[in-house]
């Protein structure tokens, strides 16, 4: 019959945690860091989109479209001002000028939509009986990654990893004073 061995000194389990910690910590860092980078880029994109929304909202309330008047600033200048103001407080967001401001005209009868040239007023007075007029603001910008990762050779550019990535955001609101869209 075989003999059984009785261990009078059982092994201590404290050393396993210390041995596994570097591997576990490395895995946690490798999983969390890319999530933080993506979350930062998403948040910066949201700030840029909000800048377009705020610029369109403020531009839609203006009395004139292209020329400043004694009543107030034009929609084009207001969109420029608010887009810059809304992104100025955040790092990693750059607006590529100009801020495009369009008049979007929708026919009430047919539903056909036409978009005019950027930053150009209507050639005639607005026909509010047959059309609905909107102000659309389009912002071209660049979003910086949280950390720029340099690649060795070959000049490889990966937007969002090694360089900022270009984005375009649009927002549109109904013009509150369509009679001023030709001024």
Question: Token match 């050779």: residue?
Answer: 153
Can you give the pTM of this predicted structure? 0.82
Report pLDDT for 10: 66
- The reply to whether 7 falls in a domain is no
Secondary structure string (H, E, C) spanning 34-93: HHHHHHHHHHHHHHHHHHHHHHHHHHHCCCCCCCCCCCCCCHHHHHHHHHHHHHHCCCCE
- The reply to whether 3 falls in a domain is no
- The reply to whether 6 falls in a domain is no
Is the per-residue pLDDT at 107 higher than 60? yes
Q: In sequence order, which residues have a C-beta less than 8 Å from that of residue 168 and are 6 or more positions away?
A: 138, 139, 140, 141
Question: Mind listing the pLDDT tens digit for each residue in 109-152?
Answer: 999 999 999 999 999 999 999 999 999 999 999 999 888 877 76
- The reply to whether 4 falls in a domain is no
Three-point CA angle 159, 28, 142, nearest 5°: 20
- The reply to whether 156 falls in a domain is yes
- The reply to whether 100 falls in a domain is yes
- Number of separate domains in the chain: 1
Q: Which domain holds residue 120?
A: 15-180
- The reply to whether 9 falls in a domain is no
């Amino acid at each position: 019959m075989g003999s059984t061995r009785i261990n009078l000194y059982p092994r201590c389990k404290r050393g396993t945690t210390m041995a596994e910690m570097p591997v576990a910590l490395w895995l946690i860092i490798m999983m969390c860091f890319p999530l933080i980078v993506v979350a930062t880029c998403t948040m910066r994109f949201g700030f840029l989109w909000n800048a377009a929304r705020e610029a369109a909202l403020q531009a839609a309330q203006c009395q004139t479209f292209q020329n400043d008047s004694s009543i107030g600033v034009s929609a084009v200048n207001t969109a420029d001002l608010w887009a810059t103001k809304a992104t100025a407080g955040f790092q990693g967001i750059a607006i590529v000028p100009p801020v495009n401001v369009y008049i979007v005209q929708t026919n009430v009868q047919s539903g056909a939509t036409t978009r005019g040239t950027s930053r150009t007023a209507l050639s005639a007075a607005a026909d509010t009986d047959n059309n609905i007029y909107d102000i659309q603001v389009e912002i071209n910008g660049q979003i910086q990654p949280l950390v720029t990762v340099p690649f060795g050779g070959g000049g490889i550019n990966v937007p969002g990893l090694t360089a900022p990535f270009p984005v375009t955001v649009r927002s549109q609101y109904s013009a509150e004073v369509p009679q001023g869209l030709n001024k």
